[in-house]
């Protein structure tokens, strides 16, 4: 009988870290709101908004139920109905789905091989008189060095620029934080993200009108909390107080969690220097990456599935999910919006992997991952 050798070491793809003292802090405040009955749109939501706005260096933050709803609310506030919105084809379903739900048409743009975002040249080529704006996504926490150029391009063409910063809490380029480049930024606090509120999202903006519209949209389109006049086609997109409490605490831990991820990334960077089988995505000079993902490009597009299986079965190393496995213009639901082939994304989506990285990961584990990957790639 064949004996299957399994590794005594197991490195998961990702892990969520809540320190015991943080769990106690959160539990105490959840008890408080359960006792008081102030379970939604209360003081913890307001505290989370204020602290998150300060963290991002913007004037307003509006807490909502998810990163998906924060995108849709921004796009509704920008009145995209019937208009074209440029979206990178290399992003999560929700980025383009939010455009459709808000009544707009997503127009897919090919991906930038350097940042996994978009290049100004591809954005320019996709512009038409119907284009209303551009949604930029900071994939894996990488803020492209081309952000100032993209902002300028949008301004020159009378377009707005929105950031889907679902991956990029605490990332920056040239001293500007993710979420603060364009007219508004959208964050997700889904559990896999660098920080979480269990479920949740946040709209950040310097634009008072968008902040005001977001508060209306998230609460059934009501003119205000106490009024029953519905002035927008809103929804229940509120964030509850227990979610806000979790978010407030994790936000305090965010700088330390990012520093931990950066230490692991430095181990990977050093270990992969000069190794030909795998080329990590580089952080631009003057850039800060929160390392939501550690992205590395394989030489060859065949064999990723086999490599992942080998790493898991023989070495106990689980690779994290790709960003992304398949570009959106190839997803069945978006086929009708696909106007042309987008060859860079078709190549790179199939040809990258994401090494395990998470808060609390040990440097020894990263060295082990490196030796497993190098051995597996032969």
CB of 346 to ligand PLP, least distance (A): 19
Q: Report the alpha-carbon distance of residue 169 to residue 108 in Å, rounded.
A: 24
- Binding residue (CB under 6 A) for ligand PLP from 201, 247, 260, 280: 201
Residue 144, CA distances (Å) to 21, 81, 118, 282, 284 in order: 36, 29, 8, 10, 7
Instruction: For the segment 170-199, give every residue that binds ligand PLP (CB under 6 A).
Output: 188, 190
Q: Which residue has 């950066």 as its token pair?
A: 262
Q: What gap in Å lies between CA 240 and CA 108, rounded to an integer?
A: 34
Residue nearest to ligand PLP (CB): 67
Least distance from C-beta 164 to ligand PLP, angstroms?
5
Other C-beta atoms lying within 10 Å of the C-beta of residue 224:
11
The answer to whether residue 291 forms part of the interface with ligand PLP (CB under 6 A) is: no
Structure tokens at 140: 């894996």
Sheet with 294-298, side-by-side order of all strands: 278-280, 294-298, 352-355
Cα distances (Å, whole numbers) of residue 92 to 34, 109, 325, 334, 342 = 35, 14, 10, 12, 16
Supply 302's token pair: 């065949």
Taking the complex as a whole, how short is the minimal distance between the CB of residue 92 and ligand PLP, in angstroms? 4
Smallest gap, in angstroms, from Cβ of residue 322 to ligand PLP? 12
- Residue 324 CB, shortest distance to ligand PLP, in Å, is 9
Contacting residue, 66, 90, 197, 289, with ligand PLP by CB under 6 A? 66
- Binding region for ligand PLP (CB under 6 A) out of 31-39, 66-74, 105-113, 155-163: 66-74
Residue 115 sits in the site that holds ligand PLP (CB under 6 A): no
Pick between residue 49 and residue 164 the one whose CB is nearest to ligand PLP.
Answer: 164
The DSSP code for 207 is -
Q: Residue 88's beta-bridge partner residues?
A: 109
- Closer by beta carbon to ligand PLP, 105 or else 188: 188
Q: Minimal distance in Å, beta carbon 376 to ligand PLP?
A: 27
The token duo for 230 is 């519905």
324 binds ligand PLP per the rule CB under 6 A: no
What CA–CA distance (Å, rounded) separates 117 from 331?
Answer: 18
Q: Which of 73, 123, 161, 166 touches ligand PLP (CB under 6 A)?
A: 166
Q: Rule CB under 6 A: say whether 94 interacts with ligand PLP.
A: yes
Q: Is 68 near ligand PLP (CB under 6 A)?
A: yes
DSSP symbol at 277: T
Rule CB under 6 A: choose which of 91, 105, 171, 196 binds ligand PLP: 91
For the chain, first and last CA: distance in Å? 27
Strand residues in the chain grouped as ranges (E): 60-64, 84-88, 105-109, 131-137, 160-164, 172-173, 176-177, 184-188, 201-205, 278-280, 287-288, 294-298, 352-355
Smallest separation (angstroms) from ligand PLP to the CB of 247: 12
CB of residue 217 to ligand PLP, shortest distance in Å: 15
Among 61, 137, 267, 370, binds ligand PLP (CB under 6 A): 137
Q: Does the footprint of ligand PLP cover residue 240 (CB under 6 A)?
A: no
Of 55 and 190, the one with the shorter C-beta distance to ligand PLP is 190
Chain centroid, CA 15 distance in Å: 16
Question: Is residue 96 close enough to count as binding ligand PLP by CB under 6 A?
Answer: no
β 287-288/60-64 pair status? unpaired
**Does residue 324 have a cis bond before it (omega within 30 degrees)?**
yes
Determine the interface stretch with ligand PLP among 102-110, 161-169, 209-217, 310-318 (rule: CB under 6 A). 161-169
Interface contacts to ligand PLP, rule CB under 6 A: 66-68, 91-92, 94-95, 137, 164, 166-167, 188, 190, 201
């Amino acid at each position: 009988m064949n004996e299957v050798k399994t590794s005594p070491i197991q490195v998961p793809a990702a892990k969520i870290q809540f320190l015991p003292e943080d769990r106690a802090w959160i539990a105490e405040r959840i008890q408080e709101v359960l006792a008081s009955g102030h379970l939604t749109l209360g003081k913890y939501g307001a505290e989370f908004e204020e602290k998150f706005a300060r963290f991002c260096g913007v004037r307003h933050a509006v807490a909502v139920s998810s990163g998906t709803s924060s995108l849709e609310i921004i796009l509704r506030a920008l009145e995209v109905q019937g208009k074209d919105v440029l979206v990178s084809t290399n992003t999560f379903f929700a980025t383009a789905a939010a455009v459709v739900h808000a009544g707009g048409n997503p127009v897919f743009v090919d991906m930038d091989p350097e940042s996994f975002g978009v290049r100004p040249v591809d954005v320019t080529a996709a512009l038409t008189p119907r284009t209303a704006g551009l949604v930029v996504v900071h994939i894996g926490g990488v803020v492209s060095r081309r952000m100032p150029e993209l902002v300028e391009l949008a301004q020159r063409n009378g377009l707005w620029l929105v950031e889907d910063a679902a991956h990029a809490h605490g990332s920056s380029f040239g001293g500007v934080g993710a979420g603060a480049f364009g007219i508004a930024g959208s964050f997700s606090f889904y559990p896999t993200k660098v920080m979480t509120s269990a479920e949740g999202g946040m709209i950040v903006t310097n634009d008072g009108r968008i902040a005001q519209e977001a508060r209306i949209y998230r609460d059934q389109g009501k003119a205000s909390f106490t009024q029953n006049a519905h002035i927008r086609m809103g929804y229940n997109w509120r964030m509850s107080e227990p979610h806000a409490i979790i978010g407030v605490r994790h936000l305090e831990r965010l700088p330390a969690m990012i520093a931990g991820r950066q230490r692991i990334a430095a181990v990977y960077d050093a270990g992969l220097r000069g190794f030909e089988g795998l080329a990590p995505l580089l952080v631009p000079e003057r850039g800060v990456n929160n390392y939501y993902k550690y992205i590395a490009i394989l030489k060859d597009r065949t064999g990723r599935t086999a490599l992942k299986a080998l790493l898991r079965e023989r070495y106990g190393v689980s690779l994290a999910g790709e960003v992304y496995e398949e570009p959106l213009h190839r997803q069945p639901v978006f086929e009708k919006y696909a106007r042309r082939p987008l060859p860079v994304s078709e190549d790179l989506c199939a040809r990258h992997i994401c090494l395990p990285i998470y808060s609390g990961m040990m440097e020894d584990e990263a060295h082990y991952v490196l030796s497993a990957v190098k051995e597996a790639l032969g």
